Amino acid sequence: MLVLAIETSCDETSAAVLRAPGVPTAAPEVLSNVVLSQDEVHAPYGGVVPELASRQHIKSITPIVGEALDRAGIKLEAVDLYAVTQGPGLIGSLLVGLSFAKGLAYYHKKPLIGIDHLHGHLEAAFLEHPAIAYPVLGLLVSGGHTALYLMDGPLSYRLLGKTRDDAAGEALDKIAKFLGLGYPGGPVIEKLGRGGDPKAFRFAAPRTKDRSLDFSFSGLKTAALKVIRENGIAKDGPRLADFLASFEEVVARTLVDHVRAAADQVQPRSLVLCGGVARNSRLRTRFQRFAGESGLEAYVPPPKLCTDNAAMVGAVAVKRFARDPGMTTDLDLDAFAR
């Protein structure tokens, strides 16, 4: 069975072709996973401009889907199932992928599944390791989301805690924007902070007052802006690398501290790290180290599967279809922002 998956929730236009495995315990084969980033479009604004994002998706969707089919070596007629990100995300962006997928499914008389983008991120780790032992504790960190999930079994995603204000990636992006370092901020901070002393500046690691598993990054961002002002941190200044390494360190430490607190509560067998910020080496290292200390298996997808991509959307679709092969095309399928 061949699945064509489409992802347009934010500022990446992506299409992927997956072949469902013969047995449910195996991973689907990713025949292609094409991602076109709009970073250059949004860079001058220091963040994603929704109207520009949807216009860009409209320009890119046809060639990107074509490229995904070409690389997989298949024709549209061979597709058995369509999968598309339904939300959360930017409505204008989501509607481009959703309408495109509906049109294809309707014309070719094939079923269409709407997929939750966040479930896609969590499933990315299973593409390389289909037999991760449940229960799985998942940390999802991206530009729009920071959340902890408990997965008791396949397709079960229980939210344990989420950010009450900024997402971790958003905090990185805002600090980079403030310093004029460019967009997206996470990769720039990682690059320019390399070699810096992560202990040079001290920030109190943010924790919500009720000690719940929720996150809060806006206080940390304010604290960082204060450090920038008081120490004259600047783009070409001498202490930039130390500042960036220290900021990255406190973000990584905060995230891993929450994983530790959640693991104490829910006693998982495995850990998964996902989302765009999961590309960060410091976070990956801290996460793996915590797993090692706690005797848990940790799974972190390769960088390409951490940022938004359609293969992760297809991965959820394959599991959903295996559970419910009787699905049909629902042309009323609507996008959701949150």
Q: Which residues make up the interface to Zn ion (CB under 5 A)?
A: 142, 308
Partner touching 185 among Zn ion, ligand KG4, none, CB below 5 to 8 Å by kind: ligand KG4
Given candidates 60, 146, 280, 329, which one binds ligand KG4 under the rule CB under 6 A? 280
SS3 per-residue string spanning 151-217: ECCCCCCEEEEEECCCCHHHHHHHHHHHCCCCCCHHHHHHHHHCCCCCCCCCCCCCCCCCCCCCECC
State yes or no: residue 124 binds ligand KG4 (CB under 6 A). no
CA nearest neighbour of 136 among 241, 281, 246, 270: 270
Q: Which is nearer to Zn ion, 142 or 246 (CB)?
A: 142
Using CB under 6 A as the binding criterion, the count of chain residues that bind ligand KG4 stands at: 19
Using CB under 6 A as the binding rule, whether residue 142 contacts ligand KG4 is answered as: yes
Buried-exposed string 301-328: b where 16+ CB fall within 10 A, e elsewhere:
beeebbbbbbbbbbbbbbbbbbeeeeee
Partner whose binding site includes residue 119, from Zn ion, ligand KG4, none (CB under 5 to 8 Å by kind): none
Distances 171 to 87, 106, 231, 248, 273 between C-alpha atoms, Å: 22, 41, 19, 10, 18
Binders of ligand KG4 in range 289-308 (CB under 6 A): 307-308
**x/- site string to ligand KG4, residues 187 to 226, per CB under 6 A?**
x--x------------------------------------
Residue 274 CB, shortest distance to ligand KG4, in Å, is 8
Under the binding rule (CB under 6 A), the answer on residue 144 touching ligand KG4 is yes
Q: Could you say which DSSP state residue 28 is in? A: P
In the complex with ligand KG4, which residue's Cβ is closer, 110 or 174?
Answer: 174
Side-chain-side CA neighbours of residue 128 (13 Å): 13
Which residues are near ligand KG4 by CB under 6 A? 10, 142-144, 169, 172-173, 184-187, 190, 275-277, 279-280, 307-308
